[in-house]
Amino acid sequence: MTREDPPVSLRGHYALGHPVIGPRPLARTRSFTRRGGRMPHTHQRAWDQLSAQVVLEVPRAAGDASTVVDPSFRLDPEQVFGRCAPLVVEVGSGAGDALVAGALASPGRDFLALEVWRPGTGHALAKMAAATGGQALPNVRVVEVDAALALRTMLEPGTVEEVWTFFPDPWPKARHHKRRLVGPDFTDAVADLLRPGGRWRLATDWDDYARVMRDVVGAEPRLELESTDRFPLRPVTRFERRGTEAGRRITDLTYVRVD
């Protein structure tokens, strides 16, 4: 037995942290906590019917249950969607409101959603099924991966038309701010991915997070603030509704890659 070839019984849970196999890597700070949970019956049915067509299997760095995509894996959108079309990447698609609305409104564009919360994706598939009479939308795929890592490696730099980040988890307590998705590293990864002229659309209902977005993204020389208007294709989700009901202001930001 070699370190590269652990016995089957030691794979999985211990695969990254066992005396025989090797050290567990330092825990990374994640922008999410929940991945699973029960789905309502209609969402589970949509998952059972459509996930094989819509949710992509990708190689994982640390076993099947991991959200870490194998860093050597490169996704080929042309092969996945069967055509060459402008690509929109939605990070944290949640229950799929923007994803499904966007894909229906723009059949000429392809939509790749990165989401770790499976019940949310089940809900998205139920919305898709309701809109199509039970069919998969051909221009939508979901990958269950940590986008903070996947954006760095999974797609070819300079190829993405738009990145959407709507209502990322706000992590309002100061001690949790380090968990916020939108920071310098994520901004650098988005700037790398966008094609020149491509857009990053963000929305949040937390003023201090909006300020951070403006500071951090504003410091990235490849991205220029284009608009603070509401993106017309962005539907009202329960996160926006919750924010508005609590008296919070909604901020929309659209940046364009300028070089």
Ligand X SMILES: C[S@@+](CC[C@H](N)C(=O)[O-])C[C@H]1O[C@@H](n2cnc3c(N)ncnc32)[C@H](O)[C@@H]1O
CA distance 193 to 150: 11
Residue 114 pairs with which residues in a beta bridge?
A: 91, 143
Q: Does 181 bind ligand X (CB under 6 A)?
A: yes
Does residue 229 have a known ligand-binding role? no
Does residue 127 have a known ligand-binding role? no
Is 229 assigned a catalytic role? Answer: no
Q: Does 148 bind ligand X (CB under 6 A)?
A: yes
Q: Which of 46, 54, 89, 94 binds ligand X (CB under 6 A)?
A: 94
Which residues, numbered 108-137, are part of the site for ligand X (CB under 6 A)? 114-117, 120
Q: Catalytic: which of 48, 64, 169, 229?
A: 169
Does residue 146 have a known ligand-binding role? yes
Distance in Å, CB of 182 to ligand X, minimum: 10
Q: Does 147 bind ligand X (CB under 6 A)?
A: yes
Does residue 70 have a known ligand-binding role? no
Q: Does 237 bind ligand X (CB under 6 A)?
A: yes
Please, what is the Cα angle at 38 between 172 and 17, to 5 degrees?
70
50-58, 144-152, 193-201, 211-219 -> range binding ligand X (CB under 6 A): 144-152
Distance in Å, CB of 16 to ligand X, minimum: 19
Q: Which residues are designated catalytic?
A: 169
Residues of the shown chain interacting with ligand X in the complex, contacts defined by CB under 6 A: 31-32, 91-95, 97, 114-117, 120, 146-148, 166-169, 181, 237, 239
